[in-house]
Amino acid sequence: MAHDRPQHTSPLGYLSHGLVWLYGLLLAVPIYYLLVTAFKDNTAIFSSPAAPPTTFRFDNFINAFQFVDLGHALINSTGITIGAEILTLLLAMPAAYALARSEGKLGEFIEKLFAAGFLIPAFAALVPTVLLAIAMGLFYNPLFLVIFFPATQLPLSVLLLTQFMRAIPKELEESAMMDGASRWAILWRVYTPMIIPGLVTVALLNFLTFWNEYLFSLSILGTDTATRTVQVAVPSLIGQQTTDYGLLAAGCLISLIPVFLVYVLMQRRMENALVAGAVKG
């Protein structure tokens, strides 16, 4: 929008540029602090918190990994994330396809149900969910999160996928049916390949949510090293009396690696997914 860029920047214009970049700086500084802290020990952190590290020692990373058994936690998180992701998509895809192609009142109602469900924060059901895990005999069992997480992301997944599928011309479905293809065959062989961008969007959102989830993981899997996820393991680096901040920062960075990698690989997709996922409801 070139017209929005005046030839001469007014004093007020400079002020607004300045304020925006000040906020940008405010965002960057804690991240910078996290990075430099991860390479320092407490003495260096306390004496000059903002200074860059003098040496690049990876002791903190190695120690964080060993002290709280991050390897195990990463495996748990990965298993839960992948399992829940697959289950979410398996549940959401057929529903989205049917909703996209339905014309009746029932379809409308189901869509409204998911739209309303999108507004219910999962936190509202935290305690009953823990009780449910106990009742199902799956307390302290990662399997429960694989089963439960999809429910939290189904409204968004179904609504977004439905929108993507609606964009596919109806004639395609009708001609496939004429050829005798079943609805399941149409879904997996005709529709799925055509909505890959939508599928990636939804998969990315689910990945972020599942990988980053903290409170349900803590309440249902606890802090035992055998079951806990990486989000729960990292805060356990906080000591009862004193905390090794370098160690904590290093553990924190390790837990960010998967998300960071995905972001670097598909920055645009991820940004679009987050924007689409924030308000669709």
Residues 30-59 that bind other proteins (CB under 8 A): 30-31, 33-34, 37, 42, 45-46, 48-50
Which residue of 16, 54, 66, 175 would you call a contact of other proteins, by CB under 8 A?
Answer: 16
Q: What angle do CA 131, 132, 138 make, to 5 degrees?
A: 100
What is the C-alpha separation between 169 and 165, in angstroms, rounded? 9
Q: What is the CA radius of gyration of the chain?
A: 24
CA distance 202 to 199: 5
- In the complex with other proteins, the residue whose CB is nearer, 13 or 71, is 13
Please report, as residue ranges, which positions from 70 to 99 form the binding site for other proteins (by CB under 8 A): 91-92, 94-95, 97-99
Candidates 54-62, 63-71, 164-172, 269-277: pick the segment binding other proteins (CB under 8 A): 269-277
60-68, 120-128, 163-171, 195-203 -> range binding other proteins (CB under 8 A): 120-128
Q: Which are the contacts of 88, defined by CB distance < 8 A and separation ≥ 6?
A: 149, 150, 153, 154, 157, 206
According to CB under 8 A, which residues from 212 to 251 bind other proteins?
Answer: 212-215, 219, 231-232, 234-235, 238, 243, 245, 248-249, 251
Residue number with CB closer to other proteins (66 or 243): 243
Residues 154/92, Cβ–Cβ less than 8 Å? yes
Taking CB under 8 A as the rule, does residue 193 contact other proteins?
no
Stretch that binds other proteins, among 58-66, 101-109, 164-172, 192-200 (CB under 8 A): 101-109
| H-helix segments, the chain | 11-37, 42-47, 59-67, 70-101, 105-117, 126-135, 142-166, 170-178, 183-185, 192-194, 196-212, 215-221, 230-233, 245-265, 267-279
Interface stretch with other proteins, choices 53-61, 67-75, 119-127, 163-171 (CB under 8 A): 119-127
